[in-house]
Amino acid sequence: MKIETTNNNSVNDYYIEAFRKLENGKKHSWNWAAAIFGTTWLIYRKMYLYAFLFLLLDVFAVFIVYSATSEKIGSDYFVDRSTFEAIYVWGIGAISFLFFGYYGNRLYYKAVKKKISKGYHLLNRYHSYSISIIAMTIIVSICFEALNSETPDKIPGINVLLENVGPNLFWFFAIGCYALADWIARTYYIKKHGENQNFDVSEENIHRYLKYSNRNHLPGQILSAFCFAVCLITCQHQIDEHNKGRGVSTVDKSVLVPADKRTIPIKK
């Protein structure tokens, strides 16, 4: 299949050019957006299954790094924050950056071909969410990080897991809503207009899919607003919990002092 660009210097033409190179035998091409934003980019490009799987891997990586950096102090398990962040952010982050940068376009091309075979290119409005939702999910992540940052060097492991896994729980919820909105829109369209339609993975249909993929359909608008509301509630709940003193800032720092260096017994 020969894929040609339209010479409009648009983002769609970038992907058309990348797909053309993949069709001609090139194994990968670099994608800065995929490298920097990772799973967020997958969701923005409507690759929900890939996003779900990579989020699961991310949660698994958090538990692995947590296990490697935790130690028992007194009767509780604590995690060294600096070591945890060094391994997770620089280790897992670097792997994610390189993987998505090199293989993002290949994943997207594979997803586009599958979407076309199911008829998503026929929708003249195919966009399951608004940019505000992407912004809000990023704010949730920042909120979890900021509200849990005022802690001693060693903090309870449960707070590390909450801080790093918590935002992913919202992403799982959002992915389900986005995928449901797209499925509703496609099912309705195919049921009403699906007869004698072209489901071939052709150059024309690839152009059509990319052209329509940034127009919001009604189910997407409804569920997008719902996700937005849940995101706001999540942020507010996290802030309320922090203000009530139930967050990591209330850790009894005395338990972090080795027993042989304590001069005055501290009773809880």
pLDDT digits (tens, 9 = 90+) for 2-12: 666 555 556 78
Angle at 52 between CA 50 and CA 56, to 5 degrees: 115
What is the rounded average pLDDT of the residues 114-134?
71
Cβ proximity of 162 and 144 under 8 Å: yes
- For residue 2, the 8-state DSSP code is -
Q: Do residues 145 and 239 make contact, with C-beta atoms less than 8 angstroms apart?
A: no
Higher pLDDT, 188 or 228: 188
Token couple for 184: 């509703």
- CA 158 to chain CA centroid, nearest Å: 22
Parallel, antiparallel, or unpaired for β 154-156 and 76-80?
antiparallel
- What pLDDT is attached to residue 35? 93
Q: What percent of the chain has pLDDT over 70?
A: 61
How far apart (Å, rounded) are the C-alpha atoms in residues 200 and 194? 13
Task: Name the pLDDT band for 148 (thresholds 50, 70, 90).
Answer: low
- Please tell me which residue, 254 or 18, carries the higher pLDDT value: 18
Q: What is the pLDDT of residue 241?
A: 64
Stretch 186-206: mean pLDDT: 79
Measure the CA–CA gap between 252 and 64, rounded to whole angstroms: 26
Q: Helices 11-23 and 203-212 sit at what angle, rounded to 10 degrees?
A: 150
Mean pLDDT to the nearest integer, 15-22: 89
pTM to 2 decimals? 0.74
Query: Nearest-CA neighbor of 100 among 146, 36, 26, 49?
Result: 36
